Structure 1
């Protein structure tokens, strides 16, 4: 382990030396070009810099960065929604969600460790790193040795996070369009769902390895289902709860007309076994939604960032509408 860190530090020093030499060479070339009275082809927007205000103070970044890394699982999606394909990302799942597989075909995967893979980052050679401060503040000094690093503040709403990123990248108008387009899509979907099920109640369940979680309307996923898509929650779901962990025995107390069911990880054998046991239980079989075939299996990689990313939200809207249309014609 000690040898590995020495290797990383030496590599970082080598990168700094090469960068310094390159910068000196560019300055010399620029002077020569100006003396000759010709335009210097290396003096482009990519070599120009600007100062931006960040959580760590003023930082000098490229005016037009070409190789951006977004740390955390959400920032790569923000970048792509702004029209930028990151050069490297942190990834929770082995494969990208379907809506990113084609555009991210050549994007490096670095895993999801809270401490980033510095060797992979150096290999990617970014010209800008963007990360949330709560995720990467502890690594800031090391990240800045690889590329200019911008830490953005933690926000309660992903829309504000997207706006913060857009401001750094001079893409404010695009961010507002992304936000408004999603609002428009939500309204269309809510109208379709209202036509399909009207005032009937909906409960969103996540089956996890050690528990069953019921999502209320006060946070992220439940908020998306009930407030943004307008599907009625159960009247007896506690108003002050964002989510509740329950046992199978308690589930009949929350007997909704429709159940949206997500396995937290479809590849986890423990979760699959837990769900199979649920399906064979008389408690499950006697639920109103089960009897009426109003259970909608959803989830996977595409639902991982639901309520935290416009791309995930867009996908989930289409997924939910298609699932309800298939069983409520």
Structure 2
């Protein structure tokens, strides 16, 4: 009888150990599942709610301007689209390990895959047709088209849970620009400024209707020439003296393009150019295209351009 009771007690003890172990495993599994869920968030996109990592670290921005928004928010992208062969000056150091994918009508899926992203951000107007392939690589958030870069920055900040950081970026830049505007008013006053982009065999005048011109004339307050055309016109060199501003800002549309270089050299050699007021007064400022490509469309580009413009006009005033 004692042997029977001992056997029963042993069996009950063994059963109790198994039950406790099962409970422990269930609790552990529940904890793992809860922890896994906590590692993700739901965010809004043009495709509805999307599940993304709570703290993405390998982000791809599929736009020539999205990478700048990411960097402004403290997130260095692992792969980017680049229109210019080299990154602008202000991104060369932070992007030294960032993969360049060039620019095309369709994303480079192979290069995106090789960058091993955990999140892809893309404008819906450009990448909507490629959503299925992109989302097969990593969670992909399609964002709406915006007219103001501040709204684009806020959209990306909402995805990354960095709304306060975006507001800080915007406010600090606005304060910086306001101080520069006051300084330029002291340096330049009511003297007129014309912003000209050198294209292949033509010149394009940028007024306050376009992003770069709006930055020059509205953000920094530099005076436009009287009766500036309603649209930003493409003109020949022969027409440029008709506008004859006090100051010229010249930007080559692409610095390594042979035809654009030739147009620029022909302009510099022309008697029409040499007789313009800004040229005779040595009040011509030349800007690099890769550094000015996103001016008016990015906080990082704008801040860089503020410094360049201030330095240029301070140099002309000495």
Q: 1:159 to 1:120 in 2, by over 3 A?
A: same
Q: Secondary structure at the match of 1:193?
A: helix
Per-residue CA distance 1:226-283 (angstroms, 9 max, x = gap): 0100110001212x32x11111111111010000001111111111111111111111
- Counterpart of 1:269? 258
Shift of the 296–106 alpha-carbon distance from structure 1 to 2, 3 Å rule, reads: same
Partner residue in 2 for 1:260: 249
Pairwise mapping of residues 313-328 of structure 1 onto structure 2 (< 5 A)?
A: 313-328=302-317
The structural deviation recorded for 1:96 is 1.2
1:34 positional shift = 6.1
Give the alignment partner of residue 177 of structure 1, picking from 168, 185, 188.
168
Query: 1:288-303 to 2 correspondence within 5 Å?
Result: 288-303=277-292
1:194 aligns with 2:185: yes
Instruction: Please name the residue that 2:4 is paired with.
Output: none
Which residue does the alignment assign to 2:94?
103
In 2, Cα distance between equivalents of 1:77 and 1:36: 42
Give the whole-Å Cα distance in 2 for the aligned partners of 1:148 and 1:37.
25
Cα pair 1:128 1:149 within 8 Å, conserved: yes
* Residue number in structure 2 paired with 1:12: none
Q: Which residue of 2 is the match for residue 214 of structure 1?
A: 205
Say whether the 8 Å CA contact 1:33–1:39 is kept in structure 2: no
Are the structure 2 counterparts of residues 36 and 60 from structure 1 closer, same or farther at C-alpha, using a change threshold of 3 Å?
closer
Distance across 1 between alignment mates of 2:166 and 2:206: 28
Paired with 2:205 and 2:250, the residues of 1 have a C-alpha distance of 10
* RMSD (Å), alpha carbons: 2.0
Residue number in structure 1 paired with 2:129:
138
Structure 2: runs of 5 or more not aligned:
1-22
Counting only pairs closer than 5 Å after superposition, residues 157-168 of structure 1 correspond to structure 2 as 157-168=148-159
CA change 1:38–1:48 in 2 (3 A) is: closer
Unaligned runs of 5+ in 1: 1-30
Q: What is the total number of aligned residue pairs between the two structures? A: 296
- Cα distance per residue 1:97-119 (max 9 Å; x no partner): 11111111111111111211111
**Quick one: distance in 2 between partners of 1:32 and 1:248?**
81
Q: How far is the alpha carbon of 1:300 from its aligned partner?
A: 2.5
Per the alignment, residue 11 of structure 1 pairs with: none
Q: Distance in 2 between matches of 1:44 and 1:180?
A: 36
Partners of 2:29 and 2:166 in 1: CA distance: 41
Do the aligned partners of 1:279 and 1:285 also contact (CA within 8 Å) in 2? yes
Is residue 279 of structure 1 aligned with residue 268 of structure 2? yes
TM-score normalised according to structure 2 size: 0.88
The aligned residue for residue 112 of structure 2 is 121
SS of the residue 1:250 aligns to: helix
Contact 2:202 2:263 in 1 (8 A): no
In 2, Cα distance between equivalents of 1:59 and 1:246: 47
1:121-166 Cα distance to aligned partner (Å, 9 max, x none): 1111111100111121111111010011000000001100111111
Counterpart Cα distance in 2 of 1:164 and 1:205: 32
Judged with a 3 Å threshold, the aligned counterparts in structure 2 of structure 1 residues 297 and 115 are, in CA distance, closer, same or farther, namely same
After TM superposition, the score normalised by the length of structure 1 is 0.86
Q: 1:230 to 1:54 in 2, by over 3 A?
A: same
- 2:67 aligned residue: 76
Separation (CA, whole Å) in 2 of partners of 1:232 and 1:203: 8
Retained in 2: the 8 A contact 1:256–1:289?
Answer: yes
| Equivalence for 2:20 | none
What whole-Å deviation, never above 9, does each CA across 1:278-307 have from its counterpart, x for those lacking one?
A: 111111011000000000011231101111
SS of 2:287's partner is strand
